């Protein structure tokens, strides 16, 4: 099988106002410390959320992947993945870039390939997966606000993207598109062994190829992502979450406005601020539970 036999993904983002976002449960289950024991000669490491990560200043972007592949000039490449997903549309763009690359692409799923990262993984000529690793597939998940008309339009807008992902998974596994759509509807977590059995992966990685090294994330980055999960579970859009993080960092509202990271701000909010926020949120939930209709 070659990547060029796989279907292309939609190349454009929806025009409607929506932001593809991390699924909170994927962020909770992600262990960012899992790494490859050793890198191959030409390696792209995807060890962050897909798309620009405003919490840490990192992230896996199509621009970054494209630049690396241009420098490799058609040489074989290994793509190591341990990512909770993120921006689905950025993931589809990266999938297209890898699918069209002239050299052999070997994908190694070391820990987690969730959501957008699972689509990227399907672009490998060869997909190998750790026995304890997981592939998570689901329908496109976005943050959006609007009235019933706008929400219905957004559902219609997302449907072709969900179908495109189902087509990609089906082409990879040889299974029916309807079967892939059922797995996506159920938000399926697929272990390494099951992924090989079902055709999502070709073989398992040897345990010697993996390591859980020193902490890949700083305490401040971990704290910021914990806060991200908390706020996402409350239904807060990503732009508003970024604005709140900025206020917690500086103590004043962001002058740049929601969604615009400052070049001078600190890389993450402190763990003590997160702890204070969690306690305040717990108190609020406790009080709200005693109020009728809340």
Confidence of residue 274 (pLDDT cuts 50, 70, 90): low
Percentage of the chain lying above the pLDDT 70 cut = 68
Q: Which is nearest to 264 in space by CA: 255, 276, 273?
A: 255
**Does 243 score more than 80 pLDDT?**
no
Confidence of residue 183 (pLDDT cuts 50, 70, 90): very high
Rg of the chain over Cα atoms, rounded to whole angstroms, equals 20
pTM above 0.85, yes or no: no
Beta carbons of 93 and 123 less than 8 angstroms apart:
no
**Does 258 score more than 60 pLDDT?**
no
Give backbone dihedrals phi and psi of 125, rounded to 5 degrees, phi first. Answer: -65, -35
């919490």: which residue's tokens? 55
Q: What is the per-residue pLDDT for 249?
A: 58
Q: Between 141 and 120, whose confidence is greater?
A: 120
> Which domains are present in the chain?
3-212 (3.90.226.10), 219-288 (no CATH)
Beta bridge partners of 86: 50
**Does 289 score more than 60 pLDDT?**
no
Token pair belonging to 275: 């702890």
**Does 266 score more than 50 pLDDT?**
no
- 10-23: average pLDDT: 69
**Does 285 score more than 70 pLDDT?**
no
Q: What is the per-residue pLDDT for 238?
A: 65
Question: Considering the chain, what is the average pLDDT of its residues?
Answer: 81
Q: Which is nearest to 86 in space by CA: 109, 120, 122, 36?
A: 120
Predicted confidence (pLDDT) per residue in 36-80, tens digit: 998 888 999 999 999 877 666 678 999 999 999 999 999 999 999
Q: What is the per-residue pLDDT for 255?
A: 42
Q: How far apart are CA 187 and CA 180, in angstroms?
A: 11
Q: How far apart are CA 82 and CA 77, in angstroms?
A: 17
């Amino acid at each position: 099988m070659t990547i060029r036999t796989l279907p292309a993904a939609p190349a454009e983002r929806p025009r409607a106002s929506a932001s593809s976002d991390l699924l909170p449960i994927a962020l909770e289950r992600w262990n960012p410390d899992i790494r490859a024991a050793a890198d191959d000669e030409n390696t792209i490491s995807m060890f962050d959320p897909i798309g620009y990560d405003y919490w840490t200043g990192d992230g896996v972007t199509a621009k970054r992947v494209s630049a690396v592949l241009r420098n490799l000039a058609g040489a074989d490449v290994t793509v190591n993945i341990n990512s909770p997903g993120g921006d689905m549309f950025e993931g589809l763009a990266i999938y297209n870039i890898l699918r069209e690359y002239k050299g052999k692409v070997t994908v190694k799923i070391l820990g987690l390939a969730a959501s957008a990262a699972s689509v990227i993984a399907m672009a490998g000529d060869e997909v190998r997966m750790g026995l304890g690793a997981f592939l998570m597939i689901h329908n496109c998940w976005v943050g959006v606000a609007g009235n019933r008309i706008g929400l219905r339009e957004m559902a219609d807008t997302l449907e072709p993207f969900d179908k495109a992902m189902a087509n990609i998974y089906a082409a990879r596994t040889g299974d029916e598109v309807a079967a892939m759509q059922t797995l996506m509807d159920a938000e399926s977590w697929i272990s390494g062994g099951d992924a090989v059995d079902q055709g999502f992966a070709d073989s398992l990685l040897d345990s010697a190829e993996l390591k859980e090294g020193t902490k890949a994330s700083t305490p401040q980055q971990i704290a910021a992502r914990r806060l991200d999960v908390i706020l996402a579970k409350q239904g807060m859009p990503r732009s508003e979450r970024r604005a709140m993080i900025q206020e917690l960092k500086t103590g004043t509202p962001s002058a740049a406005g929601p969604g615009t990271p400052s070049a001078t701000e600190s890389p993450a909010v402190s763990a003590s601020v997160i702890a204070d926020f969690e306690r305040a949120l717990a108190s609020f939930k406790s009080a709200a539970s005693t109020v009728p209709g809340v």
